[in-house]
Structure 1
């Protein structure tokens, strides 16, 4: 199979997997696809099974690549790897709509996740240099008044890591910060009258309105980008 065919097989179970991710796992020695005389990768069914194993251990058990590599080595030597301990997911699944875009609930959730800087680096699989750059350009920061990072910081770090595989650096992402701030301002403008109400249900209505307007804003943004790319 080609790397594109492998991607098509994996994406139903692992929507976030990308070609750079597969190449990264190959660079780490976790898979070793054959090469044609012209240098193209040719993946076997065993290679796909190994990729599924690696991605599942990362997603469901947050195992570092070093540990996953040790387990694959054990499998290669005919041994049974230890059963991963049951874990409570630390990164909640963002509530998505049928089209894959965040639902209103995704903008009002508060999972309470708190990661130290070392934990963020480990779970997001980014280095200190990238994290410093993301902070420098205002793309993520510790939770106000603490030294800990939340789920949003983790998702930003992971997304920036994946974009970096395509040559997109943190300095290129400042436009996203600017656009996000403008959308936040629009949402705040809409919910301000609701929040200012004095009745008992005002706070809940403000939260619901915030989620609805934010979700619609992201939907419009994504649709405009998609439409623009189709015209290009």
Structure 2
């Protein structure tokens, strides 16, 4: 099942997908443009840990002229304040030269995970979503010491539209990804090309820190990133999970 959190007339609603529309719990069936979309994650009683992967696709590493890492190149993001919803806007800071999207498979942890074995990793996944983890290259100091401003900015990581139950994604490591900018395809890839797959990442992270329900793993992006300017409409899509739309606006 596909789950969402939306606002309608100032009220929060849980929703599911039916025939391409938004089904509220009270039975109303609405077009997606009729509601305001929130990130599809339920609030947690503690700060949510968001793991992000750099250079987790070999073709993206080649695109950036870097050797693929031998161990996950991971860093943390600033909790829920960095997240944004479907059909919302993300600001491009004034004066930057290169800001690009990153279409990523997002993995949502479903139960407490500590020292999980690879073969058991999928038992700890609640579901999957689409993330667009924008990056600003101007702020990057070193590929192996990412500057905080590259990835940790309020509202700069759209997530959604849906959280899809893990049971409805038989093979998360065989999903096609695509990004369009103003309707033009600029990125294509498949999760098969990850250097470190989902089971490996869950085993790796849980080997040294406990993962909690609601924690999020953003698994990296393939090659094909391009600069995005104010007014651009960016759609990041993953097979079976949905198409996440975001518009770039200039900072005021």
TM over 0.5: no
TM norm structure 1 = 0.25
Higher helix share: 1
Higher strand share: 2
TM norm structure 2 = 0.24
